[in-house]
Amino acid sequence: MILYNITVNVEKDVEQDWVTWMKKIHIPEVMSTEKFVENKLFRIMHDSEDGGVNYSVQYFAKNMEQVMAYQHQYFDQHNAIVQKKFPKKLAIFMTLLEMV
């Protein structure tokens, strides 16, 4: 199992809009690619130095090939939508983790 973790720092003025959009639109769109078998959304429970709020968006894939297929086929399109919807309101970084 591979965890494709996306950590997002969200500015407080768009936090509720972002969370709602993630739950209702973005996460379902990512899951519709059928590259992931499960997802979770967590709020990270510590204060950010810049005043934003941090979240962990987690997508679980059966193997690395599924993650790579997602990145090659869908990532650019999905990332462009996120950047257009929330310009300069998010700081994002990704981590891949392998279950041992």
Helix (H, G, I), strand (E, B) or coil at 88: coil
- Per-residue confidence (pLDDT) for residue 34, from 0 to 100: 98
Whether 52 contacts 12, CB under 8 Å: yes
Longest Cα–Cα distance in the chain: 39
Ordered domains of the chain (ranges, CATH): 2-98 (3.30.70.100)
CB-count burial class (<10 Å; 0-12, 13-18, 19+) for 4: buried
- pLDDT above 70: percentage of residues in the chain: 100
**How far apart, in whole angstroms, are the C-alpha atoms of residue 53 and residue 90?**
10
pTM exceeds 0.85 for this model: yes
Residues forming beta bridges with residue 6, ordered by sequence position: 57, 94
Residue 64 has pLDDT above 90, yes or no: yes
- Per-residue confidence (pLDDT) for residue 47, from 0 to 100: 72
Helix, strand, coil abundance in the chain, percent, nearest 5: 40, 35, 25
Q: What is the pLDDT of residues 20-63, one digit of tens each?
A: 999 999 999 999 999 999 999 999 998 777 789 999 999 999 99
